[in-house]
Structure 1
Amino acid sequence: MTSGRRGQWQTAAEILTRVSREPGITRAAVAHELGLSSSSATEVTAKLREVQLLAEVPAPSRGRGRPTTLLRAHPSGPVALVLDLRQSNWRSAVVALDGSFLSQDDRRHRTRRAEVVLGHLHRAVQEAQEQYGDRLRAVGLAVPGTLRDNHLLQASAPEWFELDLETVTAGTGVPLLAGNDATLSGVAEARSGAAAGAGTALHLIIEAGIGGTLLIDGVPVQGASGAAGEFGHTPFGDRSRQCLCGARGCWNLEIDGRALAHHLQDPEPDDPHAYTQAIVRRTDRTAVRAVEQVVTAIAAGLAGLTNAHDPDVITLGGLAVPLRAAAEEAFTTTFLEGLMAFHRAAPPPVVAAAHQSDGPLRGAAALALDHLTTESSIATWAATR
């Protein structure tokens, strides 16, 4: 490829990145954001249409002025399959280059045996490849646990410890891009949700345990080995109790359905998510007190993380939202009391995430689209068209 063509794909990558992150953006807006002349924007988008990466449709008329177009994914362009693995179910969607979901599915686990679950995800990849052929260019996967190099080291479900996730795409030739579900839901919030535009954002999500991410200008802090954001394993809990991760006193043991069961002296629930939903709906004094204890533990930990990271905004997802709503007064009091004095005067807002149930799926889509909009991916696609 000549230097001129490398430059062309660099600009193309910048345009496609804008399209993937701002659905419905106009060609004029892209030109303005990237500092391109109208003629340059027209030339590059024409080339992207030619290689079936973009389509253009007339933008709604806004009176006088030069007409422009909306930039969309080409109907024959590349797609990604995105998967969200959860303790009780898994979700899937096919996403186009402009971030639009072409199809979605939601299936419950009949068993959590690792080989069965990974087999189902692998078949989903095969089915997508049968439907879309070489248009399927990436698989994004959100998983509930600690990752390193596409290996799930430990997870909310003990059956999933130390899994090689590469089996999900084995034999398909499609690259796998895996990420922690809480981190990816934070990416979704930073891209198009309640943390959009924040310089420093803290995102936390409670499902079976608590996870999250610290985002700086929309980019999650990864840590030395890519395992940052395991907030559930900070020692905010009872040091006499040992977590499945091997550490003692983990915050995880204080803030989800397992903690509620502990307070209520119930057996540990097989599905902590469903158990939490059931307890939150109860109005008897015993259940209300258990919920207050859990919410107090959540708020105290959030105060500690606020003191440590000084975020502009804190976004909450999953069960954190109904838990907080069930004991709002206890949450607010504990959170403010845990803040350093100078934070107390102007605490960061703690708000519900905009992308609740689909946050990890949208984050996995962002991961896949970031891959599809690189110069190398665009050049590889164009070479076949």
Structure 2
Amino acid sequence: MSMPQTVRHINEKRALAALLRAGTLSRADLARELGLTRSTASSIVAGLMKDGLVRDAGEAATEPQSNGDTPRIGRPGTLLALNAAHGTFIGVDLGIDHLHLLALDFAGRVLTQERLPMSSAAMGPERMAETLAERIIGFRERLSAAGPVRGLCVAVPGVVDERGLVLRLPILGWTGWQLREALRRAFPDIAEIEVENDANAFAVADGLRDGASAGSRSVHLLLDAGVGGAILADGALQRGAHGYAGEIGHMPLGEKGFLPDAALPGSLESFVGRDAILHRYHDLGGTRELDALLAGIGAGEASARRCLGEWAHYLGRGLATITALIDPSEIVLGGPVAALFATGEAEVKQALRRHLLPGQPLPALRLSHSGEAGAALGGAGLLHRRHLSVDEDFVFRRADPDQAEASASAEMR
């Protein structure tokens, strides 16, 4: 790419990101935000409007003069905004017992969402892919008035490689699930189709809401049937050399855990995942229902309070290991089982401190703001933000030798 094209591409993406943050900006405000001349900013805007990414959003309020006393004379500037109808991005959270579908418009607003019961364990991979496609087709039909679907991301509770191959889905015992290929066959009209780890998507969702400060390091735990994890550095996902970074639920904590048939006995998720803690509650005389456990804790039931104490102990121990290795500024908890933290926060923090050397700074602990829609929102948001971000492959790509030789010959002529 030539330098003028590169600079223009970068400035276009910066303009889109600025409009996403602000909602609306005048051309003059956008020029100031980007540090560009008004003529350059206007040229950038003209191209974005021609491509349908940006629209007029009415007249701006009259600006005062620089001394703040007298309004400027002349017609007010026109406000600009992202064109919400330019595209739609669908995120899907494929859980063990549910399917959550969510759609974002190009302005980053949630258009609609649905949560459906789904018994994933009763299906094999092929049947699951077919059922998933059927549900997405129905969801798209109900989005007929929205802009064209430009991206689809399905979040799954498993390890996913860069090809969209689900390497392992431990809760269901599936390996080598070619989900992205199945989705591409079902939706050939959607340009971008991705499969993502659900904890990664959940972490992205929280970042969309809260942003990321420079130098920040956060760890996100998704506490459901198992325990998923994700690591963000300066707001960017850390995937590791093979895509396994963040598999925090698999950290060894003991010999057995509470769940006898756990994929990894003694792992963090065999102590603090939903199936594990409910198995423990049942052993102590309770039921296998999370709502019943929460109600028992609230009522001061001895077995429920004991369960909470044991859960807090092992979670705090796991968080101490994370803190010792990564030194995060923040640890965010989400998913259904995170509801236990609201009551057991003090006990979790005590366990965390107890398993660290005295004086080591503790990360902030908090619950996620994204709710049950987190993984679906993060999946849609991941693709939406990609459309508003600089394409580094596009900017830094190298021409192949034949193209380079032809370009050099043309320049010599």
TM-score range, shorter chain: 0.7 to 0.9
1:5-54 CA-to-partner distances (Å, cap 9, x unmatched) read 5543332233224445x261535555444322233222212221122111
Query: 2:116 is paired with a residue of what secondary structure?
Result: strand
- Give 2:107's match in structure 1, choosing from 98, 101, 116: 98
- Residues of 2 paired with 1:91 and 1:368: CA distance? 17
Of residues 158-167 and 67-76 in structure 1, the stretch that sits farther from structure 2 once superposed is 67-76
- Give, in whole Å, the separation in 1 of the partners of 2:120 and 2:232: 35
Corresponding residue for 2:169? 155
Gaps of 5+ in 2: 66-71, 395-413
Which residue of 1 is the match for residue 407 of structure 2? none
CA distance in 2, matches of 1:307, 1:68: 54
User: How far has the Cα of 1:127 moved from its partner?
Assistant: 4.7
Q: Over residues 244-270 of structure 1, what are the superposed CA-to-partner deviations in whole Å (9 max), with x where a residue is unaligned?
A: 785442111000222223323459x99
Which residue of structure 2 lines up, in the alignment, with residue 8 of structure 1?
8
Matches within 5 A, 1:156-305: 157-158=171-172, 160-166=174-180, 167-173=182-188, 174=190, 175-193=192-210, 199-239=216-256, 247-266=264-283, 275-282=289-296, 283=299, 284-305=301-322
What SS does the aligned partner of 2:240 have? coil
**How big is the shift at 1:278?**
2.5
Q: Distance in 2 between matches of 1:372 and 1:360?
A: 19
Give the % identical residues.
23
Q: 1:383 — aligned with what?
A: none
* Superposed counterparts of 1:1-385, under 5 Å: 4-5=4-5, 7-20=7-20, 22=21, 24-27=23-26, 30-58=30-58, 61=61, 64=64, 71-109=80-118, 112=121, 113=123, 114-127=125-138, 131=144, 135-148=148-161, 149-155=163-169, 157-158=171-172, 160-166=174-180, 167-173=182-188, 174=190, 175-193=192-210, 199-239=216-256, 247-266=264-283, 275-282=289-296, 283=299, 284-343=301-360, 346-373=361-388
Q: SS at 1:359's partner residue? A: helix
Q: TM-score, normalised by structure 1?
A: 0.83
From the superposition, tell whether residues 87 and 23 of structure 1 become closer, same or farther in structure 2 (CA, over 3 Å): farther
CA distance 1:291–1:183, shift in 2 (3 Å): same
TM-score for both structures, normalised by structure 2: 0.78
The gaps in structure 1 that reach 5 residues or longer are: 380-385
Q: CA deviation at 1:309?
A: 0.7
Quick one: distance in 1 between partners of 2:391 and 2:238?
25
Q: Secondary structure at the match of 1:357?
A: helix
- The one-letter code matched in structure 2 to 1:24 is G
- Report the secondary structure of 2:372's partner residue: coil
Runs of 4+ in 1 over 6 A off after TM superposition: 240-245
In the alignment, the residues of structure 2 paired with residue 59 and residue 289 of structure 1 have an alpha-carbon distance, to the nearest angstrom, of 62
Q: Deviations over 1:162-189 (max 9, x none)?
A: 3221212324222311211111221222
How many residues in Structure 1 have an aligned counterpart in Structure 2? 371
CA-to-aligned-CA distance 1:103-153 (integer Å, 9 cap, x gap): 222211155414443223213444566637992222112111111221222
